[in-house]
Amino acid sequence: MTLADDVFGLLGVVCLAAAVLVVTSRHVIHAALWLVVCFGALAGCYLVLTAELVAWVQVLIYIGAVVVLMLFGAMLTRAPVGAVQELDSGNRPVAAVAGVATAGVLGTLVVAAFRGAYVDIHHTQIGDGKVIGTSLFRFFVLPFEVASVLLLAALVGAIVLTKREV
């Protein structure tokens, strides 16, 4: 166990605990704020794994933009900010089964795919902007361009949905 392993494990525990608090909180706003903690710990995990650019993208997009979108979404609803009993849905067992099944499938997949893979993070190339940029613009240009079409579709969709009644 190196120090990097310890920090990674600690961040993983914080991330998992925050994720549990997101789904068990009865306050919508508290759930969104716990999601910030969860995403922040995940960004820390990426940093320890030397995926530098991915970590900062996680901070910029997920903590910056997606949580803003969620808080904005909560502001649009009539839901009160305080504790709500109705947040406890009757679908809880089904949701738990679906969650555990998804976690099982993803966990099995990761273990099956990367069981023998070992990367010495102290002697590897740091995943900074140059590394990501090189692979993005040399090998993954088409997915990159397709992403712009996806963003365009999302933008037009949001405008169509919100402009209807103005």
Partner 1 sequence: MHGYFGGYALVGLLGLVGVGFVAVGLGANRLLRPWRVTPEKLLTYESGVDPVGEDWSQSHVRYYVYAFLYVVFAVDAVFLFPWATVFALAGFGAISLGEMFVFLGFLAVGLVYAWKKGVLTWV
User: Would you tell me which residues interact with partner 1 (CB under 8 A)?
Assistant: 4, 47, 50, 52-53, 57, 60-61, 64-66, 68-69, 72-73, 75-78, 80-81, 122, 126, 128-130, 132-134, 136-138, 141, 144-145, 147-149, 151-152, 154-156, 158-159, 162-163, 166
109 or 150, CB closer to partner 1? 150
7 or 22, CB closer to partner 1? 7
Angstrom CA distances, 45 to 123, 148, 154, stand at 18, 28, 29
Contacts 24+ apart (CB under 8 A), 119-123: 121/4, 121/48, 121/49, 121/50, 122/2, 122/4
> If DSSP codes are grouped into helix, strand and coil, which group holds residue 77?
coil
Cβ–Cβ under 8 Å, residues 4 and 47: no
Question: Shortest distance, CB of residue 88 to partner 1, whole angstroms?
Answer: 20
Question: Shortest distance, CB of residue 63 to partner 1, whole angstroms?
Answer: 11
Angstrom CA distances, 39 to 33, 43, 65, 85, stand at 10, 6, 12, 26
97 or 155, CB closer to partner 1? 155
18 or 127, CB closer to partner 1? 127
